């Protein structure tokens, strides 16, 4: 039972993260706000990538400087030396400020770290992501990361120490901001008007009614109308999940419950998977054809003729 | 078992090829951008997108294959980002930024800019008056690195040397680079701190004015006031203007946060973010120009009159660009994209 409740809770938080977007075609699309762990992963990865890039630039510059000074002597190496430092300065500057902006303005709307974490940035309004909002959302990072880090790492004594403590508390508000709003926006998202959402790249799975795993379609397992009326759409979709996951003990459990409810006596020749598969197909056939006639049975309680009973 | 040929299976068989085609086009769009598609393929994307959307609406109403619904929803969301999330070409974006977005944002911030110029000026005046009253104040306002040996006890010649000496061109490039990266980092901080209700932005702006006034005072004392202003003016009109825009942008954020007016706080901040984001991109551009003027122009051009002339030309250019450019109406500039 405990497992069931935790599952229900995790499903409900997932529903909490769903946001609906109405497209100009009038169709509602749902997007899912990214989780904290996805965002933290993405940020750490990006931090590592930027640091690595800086280290590489640094090493390359140091080597080229060594070579030119070695070849031209300290005096002749002066100009190349200054050029190297300029490249270094500009390289660091560009990486620090434009790494995020460049990638978030691309067609994927995501930095390499975000891509790995399967998330992307979108305009909360649903429109195009503009350069201004991407710039604004990334300019705020100074406030959210660098400033709190400075306050945390620098500990002056005396009155300055007190000020620094207050500063830590104040900037701590900025760091923890995403924890206290429904859309998990950080301050940059607030200013940029952006959301970070889950990027869904799932492929099309085979239709279960054409399941290649079923060696023999058990046409001998025939259900009566009464037996098929026992469940609705909600149970059908749960059954679909069960059949796709194919966990032996879960299937045994579910098959036993269904058999019990519909009063089915298993023959010696049927296994649980075959039974569930046959029942799924038959149930879906009934529900889908009923939908064509304008009736959609939502779940097992929603039975025609017994409503209100 | 004739009813086993489900409506969902037929539905899927009839449309799957189109979904797959859209999926493969999206994959290429996401990886390499629109340039990697032929004209024909580009035209096909929105058509396939709308077909997929209609499949999704139908499927939601009539079908019960959850995996299919999930797939279609994910596919449509991906396509949506490519169809409605993609902007015009980079060239068009840069043009419309320069033509419209930048001056509009600065014009929008005019009162905040007046405020930050006032605060900066106040800092300078107070710095000047305090050092006049007691030269010891100088050391409180001007850090040693910045002073380069210029302090109240410095001789006339030493002071003059710093504002009029020539450097080798290679060192100048370095100096210019350092200056603009440093200034941009400072202005970004000033902007971001606006979110902390503007108080730190105010302090930083005021603090930037203090050393200016302090240094002006010691130069004036030696009769070099005009030369010092010229030394500062050549790039200062651009640089200080840019810093004032940055702090104005910070104040705008603070205002949206504290007094969102009729809008919700969220909406007010997002609107402020768009305006200030554009203004800040502009600040970046201005600071690069200021860095070049300071690092190279100022060291090469030694004549105070010429320095004043260049600084004034830039000031007039900026002001007329920001406040006199005729802007397009908002609808015209944004088109249907928003």
d(CA A237, nearest CA chain B) in Å: 6
pLDDT of A305 higher than 60: no
* CB pair distance less than 8 Å for B86 and A132: no
Residue B260 lies in a domain: yes
Both B78 and B133 in a single domain? Answer: no
Residue B173 lies in a domain: yes
What is the mean pLDDT of the segment spanning A35-60?
94
Q: How far apart are CA B49 and CA A182, in angstroms?
A: 30
* CB pair distance less than 8 Å for B277 and A236: no
Both B82 and B96 in a single domain? Answer: no
Q: What is the pLDDT of residues B256-270, one digit of tens each?
A: 999 998 989 889 999
What is the mean pLDDT of the segment spanning B332-337?
42
Structure tokens, B233:
């003016």
Residue B2 lies in a domain: no
Nearest CA in chain B to A85: B174
Rounded alpha-carbon distances, angstroms, from residue A3 to A6, A239, A242, A259, B258: 5, 17, 15, 23, 46
- pLDDT number for residue B76: 93
What is the mean pLDDT of the segment spanning A118-131?
89
What is the mean pLDDT of the segment spanning B172-191?
84
Lowest mean pLDDT among A110-114, A133-137, A171-175, A262-266: A262-266
d(CA B78, nearest CA chain A) in Å: 8
Both B156 and B272 in a single domain? Answer: yes
What residues of B are in contact with residue A93 (Cβ under 8 Å)? 181, 184-185
Q: For residue B165, what pLDDT band results from cuts at 50, 70 and 90?
A: low
pLDDT of B202 higher than 80: yes
Both B82 and B205 in a single domain? Answer: no
Residue B1 lies in a domain: no
Q: How far apart are CA A134 and CA A103, in angstroms?
A: 10
pTM assigned to the model: 0.84
What residues of A are in contact with residue B12 (Cβ under 8 Å)? 207
Residue B301 lies in a domain: yes
Nearest to B269 among A24, A29, A191 (CB): A191
Contact B69, B63 (CB under 8 A): yes
pLDDT of B122 higher than 90: yes
Residue B11 lies in a domain: yes
* CB pair distance less than 8 Å for A130 and B178: no
Q: What is the pLDDT of residues A247-272, one digit of tens each?
A: 888 888 888 888 888 888 877 777 88
Q: What is the pLDDT of residues A7-47, one digit of tens each?
A: 444 444 777 888 888 888 888 888 899 999 999 999 999 99
pLDDT of A1 higher than 50: no
Q: Torsion angle, CA of B290/B292/B295/B300, rounded to 10 degrees?
A: -110
Nearest to B29 among A107, A135, A207 (CB): A107
Last residue of a domain, which of B52, B68, B86? B86
Average pLDDT value over all residues in chain A: 82
Selected residue with higher pLDDT from A219 and A246:
A246
Q: How far apart are CA A113 and CA A43, in angstroms?
A: 6
Q: What is the pLDDT of residues B132-148, one digit of tens each?
A: 999 888 888 887 766 76
Lowest mean pLDDT among A92-101, B293-302, B307-316: B293-302
Both B70 and B120 in a single domain? Answer: no
Rounded alpha-carbon distances, angstroms, from residue B288 to A50, A234, B238: 23, 61, 10
User: Which of A139, A167, A214 is the best residue to mutate to test the B interface, defined by the most B CB atoms within 10 Å of its own CB?
Assistant: A139
Last residue of a domain, which of B62, B86, B110? B86
- pLDDT number for residue B231: 87
What residues of A are in contact with residue B192 (Cβ under 8 Å)? 139-143, 147
Residue B86 at interface with chain A, using a CB cutoff of 8 Å = yes
Selected residue with higher pLDDT from A105 and A216:
A105
- pLDDT number for residue A2: 37
Average pLDDT value over all residues in chain B: 86
pLDDT of B96 higher than 50: yes
Q: For residue A285, what pLDDT band results from cuts at 50, 70 and 90?
A: confident
What residues of B are in contact with residue A284 (Cβ under 8 Å)? 6, 8, 64-65
Selected residue with higher pLDDT from B177 and B196:
B196
- pLDDT number for residue A24: 83
Q: How far apart are CA B271 and CA A186, in angstroms?
A: 16
Q: What is the pLDDT of residues A204-240, one digit of tens each?
A: 887 777 655 555 566 677 788 888 888 888 888 888 8
Count residue pairs from A and B with Cβ separation < 8 A: 215
Selected residue with higher pLDDT from B75 and B163:
B75
Q: Which of A57, A82, A92 is nearest to B170 (CA)?
A: A82
What is the mean pLDDT of the segment spanning A96-111?
90
pLDDT of A306 higher than 50: no
pLDDT of A3 higher than 60: no
d(CA B269, nearest CA chain A) in Å: 5
Nearest to A107 among B6, B82, B196 (CB): B82
Both B100 and B28 in a single domain? Answer: no
Both B242 and B116 in a single domain? Answer: yes
Nearest to A170 among B3, B68, B196 (CB): B196
Lowest mean pLDDT among A65-74, A102-111, B81-90: A65-74
What residues of B are in contact with residue A83 (Cβ under 8 Å)? 170, 173
Residues above pLDDT 90, as percent of chain A: 24
pLDDT of A49 higher than 80: yes
Residue B256 lies in a domain: yes
* CB pair distance less than 8 Å for B270 and A124: yes
Q: Are strands A28-32 and A119-123 parallel, antiparallel or unpaired?
A: unpaired
- pLDDT number for residue A108: 86
Both B74 and B175 in a single domain? Answer: no
* CB pair distance less than 8 Å for B192 and A85: no
Selected residue with higher pLDDT from B17 and B6:
B17
What residues of A are in contact with residue B181 (Cβ under 8 Å)? 89-90, 92-93
Q: What is the pLDDT of residues B28-85, one digit of tens each?
A: 988 888 888 888 998 999 999 999 999 999 888 888 888 888 899 999 999 998 888 7
d(CA A292, nearest CA chain B) in Å: 7
- pLDDT number for residue A11: 47
Structure tokens, B118:
């006032």
Last residue of a domain, which of B28, B59, B86? B86
- pLDDT number for residue A252: 86
Q: For chain B, positions 227-286, list CB contacts with chain A under 8 A.
A: 253, 266, 269-278, 280-281
- pLDDT number for residue B1: 42
Q: For residue B337, what pLDDT band results from cuts at 50, 70 and 90?
A: very low
Contact B192, A142 (CB under 8 A): yes
Q: For residue A53, what pLDDT band results from cuts at 50, 70 and 90?
A: very high
Q: The domain containing residue B53 runs over which residues?
A: 7-86
* CB pair distance less than 8 Å for B281 and A192: no
Nearest to A127 among B9, B76, B84 (CB): B84
Q: How far apart are CA B296 and CA A131, in angstroms?
A: 30
Q: Torsion angle, CA of A179/A182/A186/A192, rounded to 10 degrees?
A: -170
Both B27 and B138 in a single domain? Answer: no
Both B148 and B279 in a single domain? Answer: yes
Both B70 and B97 in a single domain? Answer: no
Q: Which of A40, A183, A174, A211 is nearest to A125 (CA)?
A: A183
Domain tally, chain B? 2
Q: What is the pLDDT of residues B231-262, one digit of tens each?
A: 889 999 999 999 999 999 999 999 999 999 89
- pLDDT number for residue A8: 44
| Residue corresponding to tokens 């706080």 | B265
Both B223 and B320 in a single domain? Answer: yes
What residues of B are in contact with residue A204 (Cβ under 8 Å)? 16, 19-20, 67-68, 71
């Amino acid at each position: 039972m405990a497992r069931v409740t935790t599952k229900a809770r995790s499903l409900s938080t997932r529903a909490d993260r769903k946001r609906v977007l109405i497209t100009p075609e009038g169709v509602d699309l749902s997007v899912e706000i990214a989780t904290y762990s996805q965002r933290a992963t993405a940020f750490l990865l990006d931090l590592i990538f930027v640091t690595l890039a800086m280290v590489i630039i640094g090493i390359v510059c140091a080597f080229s400087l060594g070579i030119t000074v070695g070849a031209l002597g300290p005096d002749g190496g002066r100009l190349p030396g200054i050029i190297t430092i300029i490249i270094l300065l500009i390289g660091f500057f560009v990486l620090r400020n434009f790494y995020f902006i460049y990638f978030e303005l691309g067609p994927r709307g995501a930095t390499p770290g975000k891509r790995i974490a399967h998330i992307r940035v979108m305009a909360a309004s649903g429109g195009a992501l503009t350069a201004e909002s991407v710039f604004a959302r990334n300019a705020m990072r100074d406030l959210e990361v660098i400033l709190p880090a400075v306050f945390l790492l620098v500990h002056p004594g005396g009155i300055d120490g007190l000020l620094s403590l207050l500063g830590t508390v104040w900037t701590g508000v900025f760091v923890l901001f995403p924890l206290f709003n429904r859309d998990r926006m950080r301050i940059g998202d607030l200013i940029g008007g952006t959301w970070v959402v889950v990027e869904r790249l799932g492929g099309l799975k085979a239709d279960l009614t054409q399941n290649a795993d079923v060696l023999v379609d058990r046409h001998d397992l025939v259900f009566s109308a009464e037996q098929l009326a026992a469940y609705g759409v909600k149970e059908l979709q749960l059954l679909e999940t069960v059949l796709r996951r194919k966990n032996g003990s879960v299937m045994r459990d579910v098959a036993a419950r269904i058999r019990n409810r519909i009063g089915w006596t298993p023959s010696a020749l049927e296994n649980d998977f075959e039974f569930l598969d046959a029942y799924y197909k038959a149930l879906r056939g009934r529900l889908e054809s009923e939908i064509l006639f304008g009736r959609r049975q939502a779940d097992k309680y929603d039975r025609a003729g017994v409503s209100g009973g | 078992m004739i009813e086993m040929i489900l409506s969902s299976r037929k539905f899927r068989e009839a449309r799957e090829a189109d979904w797959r085609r859209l999926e493969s086009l999206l994959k290429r769009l996401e990886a390499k951008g629109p340039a990697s598609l032929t004209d024909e393929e580009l035209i096909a994307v929105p058509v396939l997108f709308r077909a997929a959307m209609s499949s999704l609406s139908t499927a939601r109403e009539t079908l019960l294959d959850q995996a299919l619904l999930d797939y279609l929803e994910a596919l449509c969301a991906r396509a949506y980002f490519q169809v409605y999330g993609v902007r015009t070409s980079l060239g068009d974006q840069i043009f419309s930024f320069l033509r419209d977005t930048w001056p509009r944002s600065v014009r929008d911030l005019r009162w905040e800019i007046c405020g930050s110029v006032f605060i900066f000026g106040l800092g300078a005046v107070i710095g000047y008056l305090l050092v006049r009253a007691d030269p010891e104040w100088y050391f409180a306002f001007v850090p040693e690195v910045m002073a380069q040996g210029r302090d109240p006890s410095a001789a006339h010649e030493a002071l003059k040397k710093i504002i009029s000496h020539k450097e080798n061109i290679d060192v100048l490039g370095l100096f210019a680079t350092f200056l603009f990266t440093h200034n941009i980092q400072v202005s970004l901080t000033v902007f971001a701190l606006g979110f902390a209700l503007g108080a730190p932005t105010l302090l930083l702006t005021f603090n930037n004015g203090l050393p200016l006034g302090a240094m002006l005072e010691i130069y004036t004392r030696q009769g070099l006031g005009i030369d010092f202003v010229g030394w500062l003016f050549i790039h200062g009109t651009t640089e200080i203007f840019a810093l004032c825009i940055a702090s104005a942008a910070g104040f705008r954020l603070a205002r949206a946060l504290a007094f969102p007016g009729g809008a919700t706080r969220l909406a007010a901040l997002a609107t402020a973010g768009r305006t200030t984001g554009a203004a800040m991109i502009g600040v970046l551009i201005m600071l690069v120009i200021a860095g070049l003027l300071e690092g190279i122009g100022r060291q090469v051009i030694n004549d105070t009159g010429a320095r004043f002339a260049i600084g004034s030309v830039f000031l007039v250019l900026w002001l007329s660009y920001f406040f006199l450019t005729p802007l397009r109406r908002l609808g015209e500039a944004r088109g249907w994209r928003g």
